[in-house]
Amino acid sequence: MIYSRIAGTGRYLPERILTNADLEKMVDTSDEWIRSRTGIEQRHVAGENELTSDLCVNAAKVAIEEAGITVEDIDLIVVGTTSPDLIFPNIATIIQHKMGIPACAAFSIEAACTGFIYALSSADKFIRSGDTKCALVIGAEIITKLIDWDDRSTCVLFGDGAGAVVLQPSDEQGIISTHLGADGQYKDLLYYPVGVSSNLAAAGTGDSRIMMSGNEVFKVAVKTLSAVAQEALDANGLSLEDVDWLIPHQANLRIIQATAKRLDMPMEKIIQTVQIHGNTSAASVPMALDVGIRDGRIRRGQTLLLEAFGGGFTWGSVLLKY
């Protein structure tokens, strides 16, 4: 049986760090208010001329080096993002060109904060089918360019970054199963009100900002994240005791804590980066994965459960052996 296995990981964060103290000077908020409600202490913000593809390239270079491969080995690129450089061509092709990757399938997936999970699941299927031998999978965002910096309810939450993994076929168990879901009835709880065929004239105006009903999103997120984690375990006859690390979407510390309580999962077994990264949407899970690997907590052979939840609503989980 062919499995897809993570051969290397990488992450990249823009140089500029925006602390809560910095935000206190920009909007009516406070460090105590932000920490108590979100757990966030700082976030990284892309430069004016920095593109999402630039973040992707930097993260991908690290993952490729860690995997011990070259760009010539890559035959599939899948990117999860809500903030591509352009409407078209898709950002995966831009990354392909910038990195000198030979002609291959390259596409992007827009599933909001669940984008990386959707991308990883897609690449897994390509490898399992035998169509792909080496996949580059990226989750990335420059979401701060979609923010209204006068809206204190949202501007304190988000940050920019990119995380990447290289997937290769293996006879040993890697990705065990993936579980994806969505329910469009919740669209109005979390969305961006500008699109190509809808309200395009509002782009760049005060009407183009992230719209979020925080309390309602919290309730559905906690319920859904715990359910999709349990779905992955039940599908494989496992319990949380079999999982070494839970790596959730880093949206908000309160959501992570509430999900952990619902699952009866100790916080000591959860990789947390929201404090230093903020909510980086599709980039949060792969960056948290890379953090855990780099600091030595995540080791080869351990069982990991990745999960995310985003606007749409979309959700997903990935159970894997690292």
In which residue are the tokens 């500029």 written? 16
**Of 167, 159, 161, the residue nearest 78 (C-alpha):** 167
- Please enumerate in sequence order all residues whose Cβ is within 8 A of that of 177, keeping only pairs 6 or more positions apart, or say none: 232, 235, 236, 318, 319
In which residue are the tokens 């990745």 written? 306
Checking phi first, is residue 89 left (phi over 0); if not, alpha (psi -120 to 50) or beta?
A: beta
Question: Would you call 249 a catalytic residue per the annotation?
Answer: yes
The one catalytic residue in 20, 44, 179, 249 is: 249
In this structure, the number of other CB atoms found within 10 A of the CB of residue 37 comes to 16
* CA pair distance 4, 124, nearest whole angstrom: 6
* CA pair distance 117, 315, nearest whole angstrom: 8
**Of 177, 267, 270, the residue nearest 231 (C-alpha):** 177
DSSP one-letter string for 238-294? --GGG-SEEEE--S-HHHHHHHHHHHT--GGGB---HHHH-B-GGGHHHHHHHHHHH
The one catalytic residue in 20, 58, 252, 279 is: 279
In which residue are the tokens 């969505």 written? 182
The one catalytic residue in 113, 134, 179, 252 is: 113
- Element housing 59 (H / E): helix 52-67
DSSP one-letter string for 135-176? EEEEEEE-GGGG--TT-HHHHTTB--EEEEEEEEEESS--EE
Active site residues: 113, 249, 279
